[in-house]
Structure formats: C-alpha cells, structure tokens
Amino acid sequence: MAAPHLDIRSVAHLARLELSADEIERYGAQLDDILRYFEQLKQVDVSGVEPLAHAMPLVNVTRPDAIRPSMPHHEALRNAPVRGHDLFVVPKIVE
Amino acid sequence: MLHRLTLAELSAQLAARACSAREATRACLDQIQRVDGRVGAFLQVDTAGALAQAEAADAALRAGATHATQPLLGVPLALKDIIATRDQPLTCGSRILEDFVSPYDATVVEKLRAAGAVLVGRLNLDEFAMGSSTENSAFQRTRNPWDLERIPGGSSGGTAAAVAAREVPAALGSDTGGSVRQPAAHCGVVGLKPTYGRVSRYGLVAYASSLDQIGCVTRTVGDAARMLGVIAGHDPRDSTSVPETVPDYTAALGGDLKGFKIGLPREYRVPGLHPEVQQAVETAVAKLQELGAEAVEISLPHTQHAVAAYYIIAPAEASANLARFDGVRYGLRVEGADPIEMYKRTRGAGFGAEVKRRILLGTYVLSSGYYDAYYLRAQKVRTLIRRDFLRAFERVDAIVTPTTPGPAFKLGEKASDPLQMYLEDIFTLSCNLAGLCGLSVPCGFTRSPRLPIGLQLLGKPFGEAGLLRIAHAYEQATPWHREQPPLLQD
C-alpha cells in the first residue's frame, strides 16, 4: 500500500492559502507524517457504527421567530479593512 | 498582598469591607506590573477600564449590593483573548485579527459583568487556540511561572500562567482537546472543562465547534465551583447550549468520599508516561481511597485511537470555521488582482504555521475522495470512544488519570515536530470527543527540576458537581494547592 500523501498545492488552493516554496516543502513533509499516523484508524472495526458529529443529543433546536435588536450598521463595519458608503468594499468581481 | 488571596478569600474580604475593589484591582495590576515582563501572560492590560469597573463595584457595595446576588463583586479576573469583550481587543493570538476590536460581549462576559467582576485584560494563547504550549501565539511567548525556561502549556497558557503567578485569582480559557486542563496541570493550578453545552459558546471565537467549551482556571477547587456557577447555563444565542438547571456547585463541596467509585483506565498506562507523573497519580489514588473512595480498574478500549480521531475532526471543523477570515469583513487584508488572490494572500500572510497546517489537514480530510476514509471514519471512532466512556460511567462516578504524560517541557523542545506536540494531549482530548466534563487538580511535583503535576478527573455529562466534590476532598487532604512558584519569592 502506498504511503498516504497530500497534494499540498491543490489542497492549499482549496483552502485559499498562499504558501511560500519553503512552506510547501515543510508542511508537505509534516502533513504526510501526520497522515501516516492516521493510518491506524483503518484497523478499527467501524462496521455498523453511526458517525458522531456532536456529543450532545440535541436535534432541531428552534426558537420563536421574534424580532430582536441586532448589531448596528456602524458596529458591523467597524473592523472592516476597507469600507465606503456604509458597505464592505471588495475587489471587482465581474468585468 | 490582596493579589495572593484566592477568589473565595478575596470575596469574603470585599463583603466584609476589609478591602475595596479598587485596592484589590490595584494589587493585581501591581503584580502584573511586577512579574508579567517575565511571565508574558497578558497580551493587553486595561488599567483604566479595570479601575473604572472597580470603582463601580465599590459604589455598588456602598449602595448595599452583596456577594449573595453578585458573587464576583469587585473581583479582578482576566480572559483568554478568544472570548469577545466589548471594545476590547480580540486577537485570538493571530496577526489576522491584530487590530480587531470586539463590537459585543460574549455571553460569559455578560454573566461575569452581571456578577460584578472587574475585567483587567486579555491573556495570551496559541493562535486560535491551536496548540499545547502557547508557542503558537503570533505576539509573544508565555513562560511557566515555576520555571521560566519552560512552556506554560496551551492553548490557554496565558490563563494558567496568570493565575499561577497571582496576577488574577481566576481566569477563563477555552478547552477543545485539553486547552484548560493541560496548562492548569503544568502551572500547578485547577482547570475545569465543563460538559459540552454547559456553558454558552456565544462570543467564543470558534476553533472546532463540536468540541470547544469555555472553562476556568483557579487556585482552588472551591473557586472553580464558584466560577462555574456564574458562567454555566442555557443561552438561546448558542443552540448547542443545553437547557439543564445549574446546581449550586459550592453546596456540593464537603464530606468524605464514601460510596464514590473511581475508575482507573488500564489503557492510560502508556509507554511515554513520565515515571514521576505515574508515581504522583498512584499516590493520589491511594489518597482518594483513604478518603473513602473505592478504586476499580476499567477499560476504555479505543483510547489509543483518540489522538488520530481528534486530529482529523478538530482540523476539519477548524478549516470550515476559519474560512470566515478572508479579508472582507474584518481583520487583515492583503490586496490582490481579484477576490481569490486577495483571500489567498490575506490568509497566507495572516495565519501562522500551526493554523495553516490544521487548515490544510482539515481541508484535505473533508475533500472529495478522502472524506469517507478520514472524516467519516474518525466520526465513527468518536462514537466508539464515547460508548467506552458511557459504559465505564455505569460502574464508576469518576475516571482518574494523569492530566499530561510529563511535566512542562522547555520552550522550543517540541516546536519543530507537530505530531509530538499532538501526543501531548493524549489524556485530555477524549473528554472533548465524548462530551464529558473534566478537571485537573495539582497532585505533586517532580523532584528536579521541581515542576507541578496534574491529576485529571473525568465525569459523565453534567456531572460537574460530583467531580468538584471529589477534587475538593482530595485538595483539602493534600498540600499542593498552597505551594507557590519561586517567582513569587523574590
């Protein structure tokens, strides 16, 4: 069986992370080590076992659909890197 | 010397008007001034804000407010810099949030304020709570008050170090895989991780949402009971918080341990366990038996797979949670030719190495073709781990283990090997995977160098009162919590 290997460039693209050449090399080797460690999970018999996404058996938690105060506009924009006209400013998306 | 008092002692002095909140706050601020240059627990100290809150507490006391309704009235506290506090920084130890100012209070902060607490500042942490040594903070190293060449543990390293160094009597941290209990053990203080759902996560910046829980660090078990009583409870703003009534945790303390059964998991005798840690835990078990508890061996057969399951599930959730840091609505932005380039540059420049590793790992295990082999399988193993514990709790009231495999290590010692660092959490992370409560209480010291050792108690979901009672009985019968780090002797 081939050793597990993570194609770091494509994963970094999926994760929207710019990495330097040095980071690609370093993290690539470290992550392959970690994936090798994960191989042990293949020995566990999980047939018929339900996955657990959450430790508490809470389902479909609802609340009344009541109007409540929300964060004022200027507060929501307070930490924006670039803002204008009471909006978040982003680079142009369509030509 | 007000900063050396425990939370219970200080509340009693404030209630008796033997000291003012201003004096208590001043004493803590002075201690921070004296030692924090060496310890590095605080990222920010809000001197003016703290003194203003203290004066408000003194005014309330003069107007007849009491500690019966406001148990923390005038008590200085500090928070891990990942818990939102209005108009205060919320860096999460990350460059990406270096200049962020929180527009709102977390639910626990509202509760602390309602209880009359004085919030003095922000505590250092591993970036986004990812780490076991606090070395992953983008801003500074925090040092262990028992030995300044060693790490305080993590990720709530600032929280544990500040309490150990008597900078504040209590502080809040967060625990996703041991991040409150492990630093508490390394710093010789008490760390409590409540059951998932016991404390609202509203305003806790998310790392791994199915595992994160806010916890407290204190110098005594009684103080942990007080803190939990204040922060626990259902919150409609966190749909994962559980509508269970909050018992009077301090009323649960006292008495011997007759009728209590403690479980000793045979799988926790791992090869890497430091002999002095093992010795201290065995001595602690003998002490618990002397106090009336019955000890039985139990089995948690899936223990060996917990680290692997955790380091799949937690990074998977982290990769999704941290997608929000994209340079659009808050935090750092590095411009690019188009939005994708902007996201990539922003995240590449803003996140540190461990956060990047976990985002990559999490993205990979969730990606098409690998999801079943890693993420889904890890979630099934999580079911088996939880089942092991629930079965054990049919027979015992608490499970007793070491908190960490060894004492605090030196700064830099494990920094270059992420997998070695992950194995540091071997005894603590099952508690989060299974949704249990857990605490660490001091149980001795290694001989040379003299470093604290922590005893971990794990309890069934919502079993905090029982855990606190066992830990309190143990603490009252042992001298460890009265020891002071050498830093305080000069």
Mean pLDDT, residues B330-339 taken together = 95
- Give the pLDDT band (50/70/90) at residue B393: very high
Distance from CA of A44 to the nearest CA of B (A): 8
**Tens of pLDDT, residues B249-272:** 999 899 899 999 999 999 998 888
Amino acid A4: pLDDT: 81
- Give the pLDDT band (50/70/90) at residue A2: low
In DSSP terms, B144 is beta-bridged to B147
Task: Indicate which of B313, B343, B363 best probes the interface with A, i.e. most A CBs within 10 Å of its own CB.
Answer: B363
Written as six digits, the tokens of B374 are: 């890693």
| ipTM for the assembly | 0.95
DSSP B315-369: HHHHHHHGGG-SSSSSS-----SSHHHHHHHHHHHHS-HHHHHHHHHHHHHHSTT
Please state the domain extents for chain A.
1-43
C-beta of residue B423 within 8 angstroms of C-beta of residue B405: yes
Give the count of beta carbons closer than 10 Å to the beta carbon of residue A41: 18
Count H helices, E strands: chain B?
15, 11
3-state secondary structure of A49: coil
C-beta of residue B202 within 8 angstroms of C-beta of residue B235: yes
Catalytic positions of B: 80, 155, 179
Task: Indicate which of B212, B310, B325, B380 best probes the interface with A, i.e. most A CBs within 10 Å of its own CB.
Answer: B380
A64 contacts in chain B (CB < 8 Å): none
A76 contacts in chain B (CB < 8 Å): 103, 329
Pick from A33, A40, A46: which is nearest to B380 by CB? A46
Written as six digits, the tokens of B139 are: 């801003």
Contact B419 A30 (CB under 8 A): yes
**Tens of pLDDT, residues B154-205:** 999 999 999 999 999 999 999 999 999 999 999 999 999 999 999 999 999 9
Written as six digits, the tokens of B396 are: 């015992």
> Is the minimum CB–CB distance between B87 and chain A shorter than 8 Å?
no
Before B449, cis peptide (omega within 30)? Answer: yes
> Is the minimum CB–CB distance between A16 and chain B shorter than 8 Å?
yes
Please, what sign has the CA dihedral across residues B174, B175, B178, B180?
A: positive
As a whole number of angstroms, the distance between CA B223 and CA B195 comes to: 18
> Is the minimum CB–CB distance between A4 and chain B shorter than 8 Å?
no
Which residue type occupies B155? S
C-beta of residue B457 within 8 angstroms of C-beta of residue B485: no
- For residue B403, CA distances in Å to A49, A87, B112, B123, B184 come to 29, 48, 28, 22, 9
Contact B197 A93 (CB under 8 A): no
Please state the domain extents for chain B.
2-262+393-489
As a whole number of angstroms, the distance between CA A89 and CA B335 comes to: 12
Amino acid B224: pLDDT: 98
The percentage of residues in chain B with a pLDDT greater than 70, rounded to a whole number, is: 100
Report the CATH architecture of B2-262+393-489.
Answer: Alpha-Beta Complex (3.90)
- Give the pLDDT band (50/70/90) at residue B490: low
Mean pLDDT, residues B372-400 taken together = 97
- Give the pLDDT band (50/70/90) at residue A1: very low
Written as six digits, the tokens of B357 are: 């590793």
- For residue B322, CA distances in Å to B128, B207, B214, B316 come to 9, 8, 19, 10
Total-model pTM? 0.97
Mean pLDDT, residues B103-124 taken together = 98
Pick from A6, A15, A34: which is nearest to B418 by CB? A34
Rg (CA), chain A: 23
**Count of CB pairs separated by less than 8 Å, A with B:** 169
Amino acid B272: pLDDT: 85
Pick from A31, A52, A63: which is nearest to B236 by CB? A63
Task: Indicate which of B97, B238, B360, B437 best probes the interface with A, i.e. most A CBs within 10 Å of its own CB.
Answer: B360
Give the count of beta carbons closer than 10 Å to the beta carbon of residue B15: 15
Helical (H) or strand (E) element with B382: helix B377-392
As a whole number of angstroms, the distance between CA A28 and CA A30 comes to: 6
